[in-house]
Amino acid sequence: MTFACWFNTDVIGANQVIQSIGVNGGTERLVLLLSSTGGIVAQSFAAGVAVTAAHLTVCSSGTWYHACAVFSSTTSRSIYLNGTGKVTDTTASNPSGFDRTNIGIRWSTTRGLFFDGLLFAPSIWNVALTDAEVVSLAAGFSPKQVRPASLVRCAPLYVNSTNRLVLTGTQTDNAITYSDNNPRIIGMI
């Protein structure tokens, strides 16, 4: 499984979830998050134990970054920042029973670790993407151009004229303005 997303945080200093999948009423989950120290993390949580692959580069607030977490197996999770600096952890972890997908929030027995900032094109594949595919995403290629048959969800998001977060596919507001500082994507979202 792979999670990928562009993010731009307003603050550093608290754990903030970019994407997660989990179990309703349980603690089993896979998470892509920005840590309180500014690094990004791929986390697997099973049987009450969290195991992580943590990228050492510290992100700053007010800057767009591309994060990608690749969960290749129960003994391999990797994290990339802007398509580079792959860090892999091989501790065994086997969460299961996923029935909730969240953007900008952790799913557990309660919701928490809300993301404080901007997210763009959060996407999930049901396979482990290759290093080259992760580089393509970070270079700005649309998630729909990277292994499209395995793409489970691509949620291009925008804020409409009443400041409501809406999926592009359900757009009904024709008064949309896009910020000049959004990540540039090659191809259709």
Domain contains 181: no
Residue 40 lies in a domain: yes
Residue 105 in this model has a pLDDT that exceeds 50: yes
Residues above pLDDT 70, as percent of the chain: 81
Pairwise pLDDT comparison (54 vs 163), residue with the higher score: 54
Q: Which domain holds residue 51?
A: 2-170
pLDDT above 90: residue 2: yes
Average pLDDT for 30-58:
96
Q: Is the alpha carbon torsion for 84, 140, 183, 76 positive or negative? A: negative
pLDDT digits (tens, 9 = 90+) for 151-174: 999 987 655 555 545 444 333 333
Q: Note the pTM of the prediction, 2 decimals.
A: 0.86
SS3 per-residue string spanning 76-122:
EEEEEECCEEEEEECCCCCCCCCCEEEECCECCCCCECCCCEEEEEE
**Would residue 179 count as lying in a domain?**
no
Residue 159 confidence (pLDDT):
52
- Identify whether 139 is part of a domain: yes
Over range 31-54, report the average pLDDT.
96
- 45 part of a folded domain: yes
Total tally of structural domains belonging to the chain = 1
Q: What is the CATH number of the domain that holds 162?
A: 2.60.120.200
